[in-house]
Amino acid sequence: MTDPALDAEALRERAVASLITARERTTLLTDCVDGPDLTAQHSPLMSPLVWDLAHIGNQEEQWLLRAVAGQEAIRPEIDTLYDAFEHPRAERPSLPLLPPQEARRYAADVRGRALDVLEAAAFHGTRLTEAGFAFGMIAQHEQQHDETMLITHQLRTGPRVLTAPDPEPVPLFTGPAEVLVPGGPFTMGTSDEPWALDNERPAHRRVVAPFHIDTTPVTNGAYQEFIEDGGYDDPRWWTSEGWAHVRRGSLTAPLFWRRDGRQWLRHRFGVTEVVPPHEPVLHVCWYEADAYARWAGRRLPTETEWEKAARHDPAGDRTMRYPWETPTPPRTRQPGPAPSAPRARGQLSGR
């Protein structure tokens, strides 16, 4: 059961805000390109953007309008088209998908009805309605597809359509390079967050041995040192599976990087630019991160270690939602330098 102290109206406002924010991102990511870019498959790993758009609406219809409100289906004939389990991504471009304008109208129609359902919903009675779980789940589902569509934008070719202002200047972090996380028990997962998914539940006690962990992310500049030291040519740093992955893909650097004379360039949302040395390194897989850690005389933290380092407050033996404790991190735009305090979340703008 949900904590009775949770206020239904506060949860309702939170659900409205989450749904609206997610839809603003979805609209940005689908309105900034023309029809051919929406219907094209930019990578065999990804869906056409128009599939994601209608899939978001279809899932919202199935869960909020049909399951929660008991309404009749709006477009039952498209359920199979937008079933991610029925059609893998490689098949989706060949399906009779809704055209872009029709997909937009469908998603908007569903959203209008869903907000009406939310306004009148009682946040109790079933697992779906308890504390507004289904509404939070659908907001998170759309956020996940926003991330997926952002990856599609990174993989597409063509001119730049997404922009992001520079972050506000922040003082560089001058603390220690690493900290000791004391051993002992801590609470992992949650039983209190009403919209937590099943893989985050329930809260449970875990015991962790003491360990040291870096205080800032690995930067592009630090990763370049690994490259220049022959890291991609030396099997000592790689697991057998990782080394096979390097050989199979002829990897020499993070994805989207290329060498130009004595400098490294990267392709980022339609723009080629010099790799900024102080930003956190991106677009490396687990094998690459593991190899870098071995080369640096370190190792990757386990999931349990990472959660304890990020969320556990030993002073009060409590678990924080964010390492920086504030309810929502302040907005900035472009990633800031890695030695900055971890206080930014990105936001992109369309053309």
Six-digit token string for 169: 């200047």
Residue 107 has pLDDT above 90, yes or no: yes
Residue 97 has pLDDT above 80, yes or no: yes
**Token pair 């039952």: residue:** 76
| Nearest Cα residue to 56 out of 146, 128, 119 | 146
CB 167 within 8 A of CB 189: no
Q: Classify burial at 89, counting beta carbons within 10 Å of its beta carbon; exposed 0-12, middle 13-18, buried 19 or more.
A: middle
DSSP sequence for 58-70: HHHIIIIIIIIT-
**Token pair 């289904």: residue:** 134
Q: Are strands 184-188 and 204-208 parallel, antiparallel or unpaired?
A: antiparallel
Residue 154 has pLDDT above 50, yes or no: yes
Burial 200-239 (b: 16+ CB within 10 A, else e): eeeeeebebeebeeeebbbbbebbbebbeeebbeeeebbe
Among the listed ranges 4-8, 100-104, 180-184, 275-279, which one has the minimum average pLDDT value?
Answer: 4-8
Handedness of CA 311, 316, 212, 331 (dihedral sign): positive
At residue 292 the predicted structure's pLDDT band, cuts being 50, 70 and 90, is very high
At residue 171 the predicted structure's pLDDT band, cuts being 50, 70 and 90, is confident
Six-digit token string for 285: 């897989």
At residue 337 the predicted structure's pLDDT band, cuts being 50, 70 and 90, is confident
Q: Which residues contact 160 (CB under 8 A, 6 or more apart)?
A: 269, 270, 271, 351
Residue 341 has pLDDT above 60, yes or no: no
Average pLDDT over residues 112-119: 98
Q: Classify burial at 35, counting beta carbons within 10 Å of its beta carbon; exposed 0-12, middle 13-18, buried 19 or more.
A: exposed
Among the listed ranges 97-101, 142-146, 173-177, which one has the minimum average pLDDT value?
Answer: 173-177
| Nearest Cα residue to 50 out of 115, 99, 119, 109 | 99
Q: Classify burial at 255, counting beta carbons within 10 Å of its beta carbon; exposed 0-12, middle 13-18, buried 19 or more.
A: middle
Six-digit token string for 315: 């002073």
Q: Which residues contact 70 (CB under 8 A, 6 or more apart)?
A: none
Provide the residue count of the chain: 351
Q: Which residues contact 104 (CB under 8 A, 6 or more apart)?
A: 30, 53
At residue 106 the predicted structure's pLDDT band, cuts being 50, 70 and 90, is very high
Among the listed ranges 101-115, 168-182, 196-210, 234-248, which one has the minimum average pLDDT value?
Answer: 168-182
Domains of the chain: 8-158 (1.20.120), 178-350 (no CATH)
CA distance 141 to 25: 13
At residue 347 the predicted structure's pLDDT band, cuts being 50, 70 and 90, is very low
Share of the chain above pLDDT 70, in %: 91
Question: What was the pLDDT predicted at 350?
Answer: 43
| Nearest Cα residue to 272 out of 195, 349, 159, 151 | 159
CB 308 within 8 A of CB 317: no
CB 15 within 8 A of CB 136: yes
Helix (H, G, I), strand (E, B) or coil at 269: coil
Question: What was the pLDDT predicted at 203?
Answer: 94
| 274 vs 338, higher pLDDT | 274
At residue 325 the predicted structure's pLDDT band, cuts being 50, 70 and 90, is low
Average pLDDT over residues 302-308: 95
| 231 vs 333, higher pLDDT | 231
Handedness of CA 3, 9, 14, 20 (dihedral sign): positive
Question: What was the pLDDT predicted at 164?
Answer: 82
To the nearest whole number, what is the mean pLDDT of the chain? Answer: 91
| 49 vs 342, higher pLDDT | 49
At residue 4 the predicted structure's pLDDT band, cuts being 50, 70 and 90, is very low
Question: What was the pLDDT predicted at 344?
Answer: 38
